Structure 1
Amino acid sequence: MLLAGAAALVSGLLPVPAFQELAARTVPILAFVVAMSLVTELVDDAGLFRVITGRLAALGRGRVLLLWLLVIVLATVSTIFLSLDTTAVLVTPVVVLLALHARIPPLPFALTTVWLANTASLLLPVSNLTNLLAQDRLRLSPAEFAGLVWAPALAGILVPLGLLWLAFRKDLRGHYVPQPVHKVRDRVLLYPAAAVMALLLPALVSGVPVQFPALAAAVILLLLFVWRRRSALRWTMVPWRPLMLTTGLFMVVEALHANGLTKFLTGIAGSGESLPALLQQAGLGAGAANAVNNLPAYLALEPVAGSPVRLAALLIGVNLGPLVTPWASLATLLWHERLRTLNVEIRWGGFALAGLAAVVLTVPLAVLALWLTTGMH
């Protein structure tokens, strides 16, 4: 994909002025993605996520339903403040291992993390790369962004959870035996890492461009690890493949826009802010996300969104919609990769059917919530 983007630039399909404008917009966002990947990997290596899940297991008091509710809180907070990929990559393994060790069926916990990784990623700009792009386009502060999407974001959390409870209520009954508390390898590393994370979360929603606090946190943690555990530092902490894929997608979709994609999509996406118009916009976003991937779906449809409310409807489609196909969201692929390493099997047919049911209910209800709260009725 990166080679395709480079070829578009060299051949002139992507004009140089359009590329320069694209770079000015996306380089800060990509810097944030790299910095947050390093931060979450290092904080995880320091043991913070294992300590948190150990506390959750103790707080669950041996009741499976209570443990599930605590896992929901962890996955939701992780997705909102640290992004959907963090939930998929770091929360999934600790939560699924927690279930396996407690001899609870892991599927309800695994599905909870992947659905919430996607559907809880609407509230803040940092929750999803698509949100950062939308925030940049709309020039909104994090508080203003949340003010626009809070109602559909709430629907995106509550509706899938209701479906999961209906599907797994029998598995969520009963009790488990809490495991011994995880022993911290290096408290001198853990406590400063936890402090960095505690300071970073409010900084990400303060209105300061998010790449600056993320880069500062990454530098502090890297220095901490150079001092305490240099052996843990490795080049694979940088998400090279997703970074190349994302950069290539930015360039390819921009080249398509420069060659008539916007005009073509204008006829399909419709116009206006009536409920049917917003449903059409969100439905198109969800369909495109499941057909190709949510990032190119957003990039393709962003220029035809036209207004903040229509852009919010597009975000509903591309954030809450990618629950059907495995490739619809990078978070889903990362989640599946983690489950394979834990020998937890997922049948894609069942995953797609369950996801389709969730999307058919969640996306329209989220659009309705958006329409009702933005004064369009």
Structure 2
Amino acid sequence: MLELAQRTLPVLGFLLGMTLVAELADRAGLFLALAHRLARIARGSVPMLWLGLVVVAAACTAFLSLDTTAVLLTPVVLALARRLRIDPRLFAYTCVVLANTGSLFLPVSNLTNLLAMSAHSLSTQDFLALMWAPGVVGVVLPAMLLAIMFRHTLRTAADPDVDADEPRGGPLLIIATLIVAGLAAAILAGADVTLAALLAAAALLLATAVLDPVLLRRLPVPWQMIIGVAALFVVVQLARDAFLDGLLATWSPASDLPGLLGLAGLGALTANLINNLPAYLALEGLTHSAPGLTAALLIGVNAGPLITPWASLATILWAGRCRAAGVPVRWAEFVARGAIIAIPTVAFGVAALILGS
């Protein structure tokens, strides 16, 4: 249990810090300002606006985690879509898809990445060198498929006049932007991600308390999520010790294309059955500390959980934000679109892993 605590406590600390950073940045108006800036640049062009959203969603997922994209970016862009009289489903699906498939670039993009990083003593640079090619596939291929699915929406025109709802800037927005940018730079430089996230959260808390303390009211601290994740770590570890590792020892995947595809496919299937975080923990023993096998498993559990609603916590949170924004989530449609996107993304992501290594 001591080894488990040494692995999980930094992950939980990062979860706390990054959740506070994202929430405070949102309250400072960062995501709203980004959305309106995209609308002004697009000048009524739906394809330009959507491509801008793809870039923002991919960057948000990479540096601030998939949950930030699903929870905080989604309602802002849905409100913008309604304001511009654009079918909001294109924006909704872009957020949830890229929150999952785009979470391959950096350790902070997904909790599964942090667990892999700690298990194999990878630096941020090592992780990026290993995962950059699958990460590119995880953004480009889903975006292409979404463009085909929503081609009729992309042919429409939007109202370019968004000045009336232009959010006000201010010192707190500037400081929040600088802190988030500094956090991203620190992550790329290889800083301890947990320490960086907690320091950024502390800096934003202080700035908000001084400049606009009203924004601190009812600040959601994710204690329930942290306790739930911690309990999940313990349960899966007990299962591994009791029987799971012994059961999985009957198969030792090879580091060739069939072996990597098989491991990624198993990861995606398990994630869609039980959720991606326990899926990674349960199957981690199959990687045998080999970077290529670890990368294949991450491709499966990160880019694959787009078929069942419970496969990713980000998807569950996204659905709640969509309903709150008045955008119904039709799960039959979600399953069909998710399968069309997830299956080729996992397969081509594994191919990119081999070609990029």
TM-score by length of 2: 0.96
- Larger deviation, residues 37-46 vs 134-143: 134-143
Matched, 1:224 2:190: no
Q: How much does 1:240 deviate?
A: 2.4
Q: CA RMSD in A?
A: 1.3
Residue matched to 1:372: 355
The amino acid of 2:330's aligned partner reads: R
Matched, 1:345 2:325: no
Any conservation in 2 of the 1:54–1:181 contact (CA below 8 Å)? no
Matched, 1:31 2:10: no
Taking the TM superposition and a 5 Å limit, the aligned residue runs for 1:107-118 are: 107-118=89-100
Residue matched to 2:55: 73
CA distance in 1, matches of 2:167, 2:353: 44
CA distance in 2, matches of 1:181, 1:333: 33
Matched, 1:22 2:4: yes
The amino acid of 1:57's aligned partner reads: A
Matched, 1:61 2:48: no
Cα displacement string for residues 220-265 of structure 1 (whole angstroms, at most 9, x for unaligned residues): 1111122222232245521123212211110000111111211112
CA distance in 2, matches of 1:354, 1:241: 31
Matched, 1:42 2:24: yes
Matched, 1:211 2:194: yes
Matched, 1:105 2:105: no
Residue matched to 1:237: 220
Matched, 1:158 2:143: no
Q: How much does 1:303 deviate?
A: 1.6
Cα displacement string for residues 77-123 of structure 1 (whole angstroms, at most 9, x for unaligned residues): 10011110000011111111111110000001110110000000001
Residue matched to 1:329: 312
CA distance in 2, matches of 1:116, 1:35: 22
Cα displacement string for residues 52-94 of structure 1 (whole angstroms, at most 9, x for unaligned residues): 1110000011111111101101101100111100000111111
Q: How much does 1:181 deviate?
A: 5.4
Q: Secondary structure of 1:273's partner?
A: coil
Taking the TM superposition and a 5 Å limit, the aligned residue runs for 1:263-274 are: 263-267=246-250, 269-274=251-256
Residue matched to 1:132: 114
The amino acid of 2:233's aligned partner reads: F
Structure 2 unaligned residues grouped into runs of 5+: none
- Larger deviation, residues 171-180 vs 77-86: 171-180
Residue matched to 2:261: 279
Any conservation in 1 of the 2:36–2:166 contact (CA below 8 Å)? no
Which residue among 151, 154, 157 is the counterpart of 1:172? 154
Residue matched to 1:12: none
Runs of 4+ in 1 over 6 A off after TM superposition: none
Residue matched to 1:5: none
CA distance in 2, matches of 1:368, 1:80: 21
Residue matched to 1:7: none
Number of residue equivalences: 355
Q: How much does 1:184 deviate?
A: 4.3
TM-score by length of 1: 0.91
Change (3 A) 1:181 1:303: farther
The amino acid of 2:86's aligned partner reads: I
Any conservation in 2 of the 1:82–1:126 contact (CA below 8 Å)? yes
Any conservation in 1 of the 2:60–2:69 contact (CA below 8 Å)? yes
Any conservation in 2 of the 1:51–1:182 contact (CA below 8 Å)? no
Structure 1 unaligned residues grouped into runs of 5+: 1-18
